[in-house]
Amino acid sequence: MKVLVPVKRVIDYNVKPRVKMDGTGVDLANVKMSMNPFDEIAVEEAIRLREKGVATEIVAVSIGVQKCQETLRTALAMGADRAILVLTEDEAEPLAVAKILKGIVDEEQPGLVILGKQAIDDDSNQTGQMLAALTGRPQGTFASKVEVDGDSVKVTREVDGGLETVSLKAPAIVTTDLRLNEPRYASLPNIMKAKSKPLANKTPADYGVDTAPRLKTLKVEEPAKRQAGVKVGDVDELIGKLKVLGVVA
């Protein structure tokens, strides 16, 4: 089956985000950007499915500015076969992204779409579920294990109390959790090879989608700072503090 993997270009997870002084957002100028960590896990899972003979073709998609091409090249270097860049200057919201992805799903007819469970910038955790709704397909969110057997996809999900397993009718939409796998690094030869893999350029209009944000961001602020604390010298002093706090009698 064909596997579609949407990937997002986000601030690198090691960078501490800085809020802009004018309160309009987070400063991304000259900040290191990378593939969203959950999407790396999604790409890795698709590649593993190909290694098991389940996936026949892996198509990576990214929606955003021209630089998202780099994110797609990373996916191609990891092992995706071809890529689609849907170019927009808007910060497309999950609903708009899901609508574009639906257009691509209609065109490409993948047997499985694997997304990350959330992007570490907007922390929305919505796109996969919305895509499942729009395509009328089942969803296996927060996956820590994916097994494809014919046209049924068994997904083990990380839920509040532990783990839960569901069986989905393909084509299905899966979103990855951290425990699904450990993404591989792209080797230098593969990075070189990725440069000549096909990358198609599209626009939201090609799928009849308007990416103008519907939510209005009125302001972005830093969270309240915590008061500086104290260091204690030993366990007795620590217990003294716990007593003052009323944690122990």
Partner 1 sequence: MKTLVWVEHDNASVKDATLATVTAASQLGDVDLLVAGSGCAAVADEAAGIAGVGTVYLADDAAYENALAENVAPLVVQLMGDHDAFVAPATSNGKNIAPRVAALLDVVQVSEILSVVSADTFTRPIYAGNAIATVQAPAGKLVLTVRGTAFAKAEKTGGAGTVQAAAAGGDQGLSTFVGSEISKSERPELTSAKIIVSGGRALQNSENFHTLIEPLADKLGAGVGASRAAVDAGYVPNDYQVGQTGKIVAPEVYIAVGISGAIQHLAGMKDSKVIIAINKDEDAPIFQVADVGLVGDLFKIVPELTGKL
Ligand X SMILES: Cc1cc2nc3c(=O)[nH]c(=O)nc-3n(C[C@H](O)[C@H](O)[C@H](O)COP(=O)(O)OP(=O)(O)OC[C@H]3O[C@@H](n4cnc5c(N)ncnc54)[C@H](O)[C@@H]3O)c2cc1C
**Taking CB under 8 A as the criterion, which residues in 131-150 touch partner 1?**
131-134, 136-142, 144
Q: Does 87 bind ligand X (CB under 6 A)?
A: no
Residue 45, by phi and psi: left (phi above 0), alpha (psi -120 to 50) or beta?
A: alpha
| Residue 77: both structure tokens together | 């270097």
177 binds, among ligand X, partner 1, none (CB under 5 to 8 A by kind): partner 1
**Tokens 């057997």 -> residue:** 149
What's the rounded Cα separation, in Å, for the pair 1 and 205? 28
Alpha helix stretches (DSSP H) within 110-176: 127-135
Q: Does 120 bind ligand X (CB under 6 A)?
A: yes
Minimum distance of ligand X from residue 142's CB (angstroms): 12
Binding residues among 35-54 for ligand X as defined by CB under 6 A: 37
Binding residues among 93-122 for partner 1 as defined by CB under 8 A: 93-95, 98, 117-118, 120-122
Pick the closer one to ligand X by CB: 37 or 94. 37
Binding residues among 44-73 for partner 1 as defined by CB under 8 A: none
Other C-beta atoms lying within 10 Å of the C-beta of residue 43: 30
* Segment interacting with partner 1 (CB under 8 A) among 14-22, 47-55, 77-85, 103-111: 14-22
Quick one: how far is CA 236 from the chain centroid?
46
Pick the closer one to partner 1 by CB: 29 or 215. 215
Half-sphere exposure of residue 108: CA atoms within 13 angstroms, side-chain side: 27
How many residues bind to ligand X according to rule CB under 6 A? 4
What's the rounded Cα separation, in Å, for the pair 142 and 145? 9
Alpha carbon distances (Å) from 197 to 8, 69, 70, 81, 110: 19, 12, 13, 7, 19
Minimum distance of ligand X from residue 162's CB (angstroms): 16
Nearest to 9 by CA among 19, 31, 21: 31
Q: Does 13 bind ligand X (CB under 6 A)?
A: yes
- Torsion sign over Cα 6, 10, 12, 13: negative
Minimum distance of partner 1 from residue 19's CB (angstroms): 5
Minimum distance of ligand X from residue 137's CB (angstroms): 25
Q: Which of 76, 168, 180, 209 binds partner 1 (CB under 8 A)?
A: 168
Minimum distance of partner 1 from residue 27's CB (angstroms): 10
Contact residues: ligand X, CB under 6 A: 13, 37, 120, 178
